[in-house]
Amino acid sequence: MRALLLPVKDLRNAKKRLESVLTPEQRLGLAHAMLTDTTRAVRDVCRAEKIFVITNYRPAMEIAEENGWEILREDRQISESDSVDAASRRCAQRGVRSLLRLPLDLPLLQPSDIDELLAIEYPPPAMAIVPSRDGTGTNALLRTPPTLFPSHFGAGSFAKHLAEAKQASAQIVLRRNFRLEMDVDDESDLHALLEYDLSATATGRWLCEAGLDVKFRSGRKRETKVAAGNHL
């Protein structure tokens, strides 16, 4: 069985690295908009035989229930790595052979992006990985078996996961995909996201309604003018 795992933390505590530019209410609104986009993409995935959501956040449980996805309830959340590893063990016990972990902050995500990863099939041990936009983080991780090695999500996770896979003598598949790589963690990510056409996304609509698309596009233009002036 090939399955998809969505770890969802309490979004009221999400996006701490945006504290300097967004209010708590704005960070919550942004996180929920991106969850809506991720959910939309996951609904139309064809190759996942099962979809799991590990969380203790009630709105995420409601989304899972509405879509018939299996909820792995947490009593408490220590870290994303702990949550993913706990879920991976439970999935393996349920007969999952390959498990794809995706974050929820991928506003450009399309169902085909997920299906292309789930189509990767190598005999165990094997890992497929998609880095973050800056090449240091891990935005998608497919492990065969699900418990192949411990998770290290956070700073420098891409290199750590590569090292773990090599230590496990696993087949390594590296994929690049701009939609999968475009997560939103800090202000530079917001600027980069706004370079894309977001008209069909909940995230784009929310940014527009909140007036943040204008704010961050204006900020980028000012930075560009200053940088150009410094080179004169």
Contacts 24+ apart (CB under 8 A), 71-78: 77/9, 77/10
Decide which of 3.40.50.10260, 2.60.120.10, 3.90.550.10, 3.40.50.10860 is the CATH code for 2-230: 3.90.550.10
Report the distance separating Cα 109 and Cα 34, nearest Å.
10
| pLDDT bracket for residue 226 (50, 70, 90) | very low
Least Cα distance to 3 among 42, 48, 53, 61 occurs for 48
Contacts of 163 (CB under 8 A, 6+ apart): none
Smallest CA-to-CA distance from 181 within 194, 192, 191, 170 is with 192
Instruction: List the domain boundaries for the chain.
Output: 2-230
- Give how far Cα 204 sits from Cα of 11, 34, 70, 199, 207, Å: 18, 9, 29, 6, 5
Contact status, residue 53 vs residue 60, Cβ threshold 8 Å: yes
Give tens-digit pLDDT for 153-210.
988 999 999 999 999 999 999 999 999 999 999 999 999 999 999 999 999 999 999 9
Q: How far is CA 39 from CA 18, 21, 108, 178, 179, in A?
A: 22, 26, 12, 18, 15
What local confidence, expressed as pLDDT, does residue 76 receive?
86
Average pLDDT of the residues in 205-219? 86
| 227: confidence class by pLDDT, cuts 50, 70, 90 | very low
Strand intervals (E) in 56-208: 70-73, 98-101, 126-131, 138-144, 171-174
pLDDT in tens, 25-45: 999 999 999 999 999 999 999
Q: How confident is the model at residue 47 (pLDDT cuts 50, 70, 90)?
A: very high
Give pLDDT, residue 220. 53
- pLDDT score at 217: 74
Over range 98-122, report the average pLDDT: 96
Token reading at 39: 């959910």
**Banded pLDDT at 225 (limits 50, 70, 90):** very low
Q: What is the spatial distance between Cα 213 and Cα 201, in angstroms, rounded to a whole number?
A: 13
Q: What whole-number percentage of the chain has pLDDT above 70?
A: 94
Rounded-to-integer distance, Cα 54 and Cα 72, Å: 5
Weakest mean pLDDT among 48-57, 113-122, 144-153, 218-227: 218-227
Task: Work out the burial of residue 232: count CB atoms within 10 Å of its CB; fewer than 13 is exposed, 13-18 middle, 19 or more buried.
Answer: exposed
Kindly indicate the confidence band of residue 232, based on its pLDDT and cuts at 50, 70 and 90.
low
Tokens matching residue 33: 């908009």
Given a cut of 50, whether residue 228 has pLDDT beyond it is no
State pLDDT tens for residues 63-91: 999 999 999 999 888 899 999 999 999 99
Instruction: Identify the three-state secondary structure at position 7.
Output: strand
pTM: 0.91
Q: Please, which residues have CB within 8 angstroms of residue 93's CB and are 6 or more apart in sequence?
A: none
